[in-house]
Amino acid sequence: MSYLGEIVLKQIIEDYENGTSLKEINKKLHIPIRMIKLDLFEYGGKRGKKILLQELEKEFPMIKEIIEKYDQGKTSKQLSEQYHTHVEKISNAIQQYKMLTGKTLRKNSIRNYRDDLQIDEIIKEFRKGETLSKIASDQKTSVTAVRNRVNKYIQENGNEIVEERKKAIEERNNNRQKAIHNYRDDLQIDKIIEGFRKGKTWSKIAHEQKASDTTIRNRVNKYIEENGNQIVEERKKAIEERKKAKNYGIPYTTGKIKKVCKKGGSYAKIVESNDARNTTTTPIKNDVIDLSMIVKYFSLGFSFRQVKEYAKKRGYEINERDMETAQKIESGEQKVLSGASIAQIIKKYGYSYEKLTKIAEKKGYVVLESRYISAKAKINNRNKEGEEK
């Protein structure tokens, strides 16, 4: 339904055709010009659209010239720069013209307005396998313009250049692969493959060989192509074993991990093999299972009773007070000093484990020896690296 009503709209059209402007009609009827234009377009028929077209030509006297150049292929941005106006005004004017006239612009998608483009050079570079963006950059034009020129050439001369381009790209890629595989003759392939088998990361192997990740990856891929993918399976096993060891706080070893306890459907795991270097991150000292290790066992799923049985079976001593503290830590009743806090305190004050434990107890915290040892080791390593640099 018309916002103004059929009678008012008809009167506006007649007044305009008799020489009254939309601004004067706006002042007379106190109706926003936007609403007048909307009703003229929706309900004014051909007479209404003719009025709107006349208004557009008043605002843009060069609208027909703009439309002609746009139809030839110039962009709104190029037109805005040429006519020194904002790009949105140009775009809106073009859209209004299309809606009012019903014309379809740019029927031919091939742009012809750039006569200065070197077609022979574009086709030559396309044959060589050069990217469209590189060709466009050299010709100082858009990628679309280059693509349109190439498509037009193919329509007129056939797609032979497409096959030539494919061959050129394939040859270039082959040469690139050869260069990647052969430019570093000093790399120790045996050590690269051994590191890959053991589950080392690409960056770790690359650092050891003083090469890039890509170079190492290409060497391994070439080895797999020539010798099969057995090393991939070996790598997966090594990574899986390392993950298990890491998850349970055990240094990486080749020891077997056995299921020793079941609780709530989940299994707690520890290293039981004699060739393992350590059983936990904190080695058992003087046949005593300390607080750090009790907390570790609880985190693995051991119950209070199972930890006691485990210690008794192996002849280890266990402190009842430590057991109670570990239970409080597990339940969240007892606060534990974090590894980051321990590291900061060591770095700032240099406290020993015993001294830090006493100070922490006064504040209501517990210090796990495993965390203290880990923090101390990290600080020492950083200091050594600083000295080496």
Residue in 7, 27, 9, 28 with CA at minimum distance from that of residue 17: 9
Distance separating alpha carbons of residues 291 and 368, to the nearest angstrom: 7
Rounded to 5 degrees, φ, ψ at 130 are -70, 150
Do 90 and 45 have their domain in common? Answer: yes
321 falls within a domain: yes
Q: Which two tokens stand for residue 361?
A: 């107890």
Do 382 and 295 have their domain in common? Answer: yes
- How much is the pTM? 0.30
Q: Select the more confidently predicted residue: 104 or 80.
A: 80
Provide the CA 54 distance to its chain's centre, in angstroms.
52
Confidence of residue 262 (pLDDT cuts 50, 70, 90): very low
Of the three residues 221, 245, 269, the one that is the final residue of a domain is 245
Distance separating alpha carbons of residues 198 and 194, to the nearest angstrom: 6
> Does residue 257 have a pLDDT over 80?
no
Least trusted range by pLDDT, from 49-53, 157-161, 304-308: 304-308
pLDDT in tens, 8-36: 888 888 888 888 888 888 888 888 888 88
Do 97 and 196 have their domain in common? Answer: no
Do 161 and 212 have their domain in common? Answer: no
Give the contacts of 271 (CB within 8 A, at least 6 positions apart): 245, 250, 253, 255, 256, 257, 278, 279
Task: Please state the rounded mean pLDDT for residues 326-344.
Answer: 81
Of the three residues 218, 245, 272, the one that is the final residue of a domain is 245
Least trusted range by pLDDT, from 37-51, 120-134, 177-191, 303-317: 177-191
> Does residue 324 have a pLDDT over 50?
yes
Do 286 and 383 have their domain in common? Answer: yes
Do 169 and 201 have their domain in common? Answer: no
108 falls within a domain: no
Do 213 and 123 have their domain in common? Answer: no
Task: Please state the rounded mean pLDDT for residues 244-268.
Answer: 40
Do 237 and 289 have their domain in common? Answer: no
Q: Select the more confidently predicted residue: 260 or 184.
A: 184
**How many domains are there within the chain?**
4
43 falls within a domain: yes
272 falls within a domain: no
Provide the CA 240 distance to its chain's centre, in angstroms.
26
190 falls within a domain: yes
pLDDT in tens, 274-296: 333 333 334 444 455 667 777 77
Distance separating alpha carbons of residues 169 and 129, to the nearest angstrom: 5
Do 91 and 129 have their domain in common? Answer: no
Name the residue range of residue 368's domain.
280-388
271 falls within a domain: no
